[in-house]
Amino acid sequence: MLAEIREQPAVLQRVLDRCARASDLGHTARSGRLHFVGCGDMYFAACQTEATARSVWGLDVRAWRSMDMRWVHGQLGAGDVVVCASVSGRTPRTLEAALLAKRAGARVVGITDNPGSPLEAALEECLLLGTAEPNSLADGVYAGYRHHIAQTQTYTAVLAAELWMAACAVGETAAIDGLPARLASVVADSEPRIAMAAGEFFAGGTNVAVLGSGPHLPAARYGAAKFLEFAVPATAQCLEEFNHLECFVADEGTRALLIAMDDASFHRATEVCEPWREIGIRSAVVTASGDVPGAAWAVPLSAAAGVDRAFAIAAVLQLSCAHGVAALGRDPVRWLGGRRANLVQNVVARTIRGSRLFGVDPP
The ranges assigned to domains in the chain are: 2-175, 179-332
Burial 30-40 (b: 16+ CB within 10 A, else e): eebbbbbbbbb
Q: Name the class of domain 2-175.
A: alpha beta
> What pLDDT is recorded for position 137?
54
> What pLDDT is recorded for position 160?
97
Asked if 296 and 284 touch (Cβ cutoff 8 Å), the reply is yes
> What pLDDT is recorded for position 142?
47
Separation between Cα atoms, residue 18 and residue 16, nearest integer Å: 5
Instruction: Express each pLDDT in 152-161 by its tens digit.
Output: 889 999 999 9
Beta pairing, strands 107-112 & 125-128: parallel
> What pLDDT is recorded for position 133?
60
Question: Side-chain half-sphere of 211: how many Cα atoms within 13 Å?
Answer: 28
Closest listed residue to residue 269, CA positions, set 277, 260, 278, 281: 260
Separation between Cα atoms, residue 349 and residue 355, nearest integer Å: 10
- Any bridge partners for residue 128, and if so which? 112
> What pLDDT is recorded for position 338?
59
Q: Judging by beta carbons within 10 Å of its beta carbon (0-12, 13-18, 19+), is residue 351 exposed, middle or buried? A: exposed
- Ranges of the chain whose pLDDT falls below 50: 140-149
Q: Which amino acid is at 198?
A: A
Measured between alpha carbons, how far is residue 227 from residues 132, 184, 196, 224 in Å? 22, 23, 19, 5
> What pLDDT is recorded for position 4?
86
DSSP helix, strand, coil percent of the chain (3-state; round to 5): 55, 15, 35
Going by the DSSP 8-state scheme, the letter that residue 277 receives in this structure is H
Q: Do domains 2-175 and 179-332 have the same CATH topology?
A: yes
* CATH 3.40.50.10490 given to domain 179-332: yes
Closest listed residue to residue 137, CA positions, set 159, 108, 110, 112: 112
> What pLDDT is recorded for position 336?
57
Asked if 307 and 52 touch (Cβ cutoff 8 Å), the reply is yes
Q: What is the pTM of this model?
A: 0.93
